Amino acid sequence: MNNNFRQYVTIIAMIVVSSVLTGCGGTKVLKEPQPVQLENPLAVTADARMTATLDWVIVRAGPGTWAKNADWDEYLLRVRNHSDRTLRIVGLTVVDSLQTRIESGAILSGSTSTTAAGTAMSGLVFLGPAIAVGGIMRAANNSAVNTEMEKRQTILPLDVPPGQELSLDVFFPLAPSPVMIELVYADDAGRRHTVAIDTRAVLDGLHFDENVEQT
């Protein structure tokens, strides 16, 4: 029984090690990011003070993607202040096809495979070096992804001076078929206003019936 159990645990541990070493399911920065050329905007909306433009959405394996197996979307937007006072962008929300409201924010890479490897390692010390190498590789990939995200993302709140246009780079968790992007800004008196970009036509069907990972 002891030998059979040891063989069973060894097989399971080797599967875990193989998954870790091959980066199965992992996210990492691509050596050659996919190019994207921004021409016509996808959608535009405006009120009396501000125009909000959606230029592109970077999705996994699509134009502009820079990470393998990304589990987020990266929205590229522009805002123009038409007023004579500074306006402050205070929030961005994506509303998906189920009317779920998804707030913007950085999505940092996890380390679930490393955790699994560590669990197996507790019972198989002789496989420790291989698992440790896999864990280090995964941690390095996650660190590189997180560093790139922190470099790219726009930090809110963001002031938009009078008459100026600024670009926004905003990360969201995957949202199925987004119908709207809500941008909230505050005027110089602190009153909040919302401009909504209708994305039903341009993002219809996004993330429906797609593979979870890139090949």
Q: Would the pLDDT of 68 be above 50? A: yes
Pairing of strands 87-95, 101-103: antiparallel
Q: Would the pLDDT of 211 be above 80? A: no
pLDDT at 131: 55
Poorest-pLDDT segment among 25-34, 93-102, 148-157: 25-34
Token pair for 55? 């230029």
Percent of residues, the chain, with pLDDT higher than 90: 61
Question: Which of 29, 34, 154 has the alpha carbon at shortest distance from 91?
Answer: 154
Burial of 21 (0-12, 13-18, 19+ CB in 10 A): middle
State pTM to two decimals: 0.76
Residue 42's alpha-carbon distances to 38, 39, 90, in angstroms, are: 10, 9, 22
Name, of 26-40, 137-151, 164-178, 200-214, the range with top average pLDDT: 164-178
pLDDT in tens, 107-155: 666 544 444 444 444 444 545 565 556 667 778 888 999 999 999 999 9
CA trace torsion 170, 176, 180, 185 (10° rounding): -30
Residue 133's alpha-carbon distances to 114, 117, 119, 138, in angstroms, are: 10, 10, 15, 9
- The single residue listed with the structure tokens 């306006």 is 87
Strand-pair partners of 210: none
Strand-pair partners of 52: 45, 79
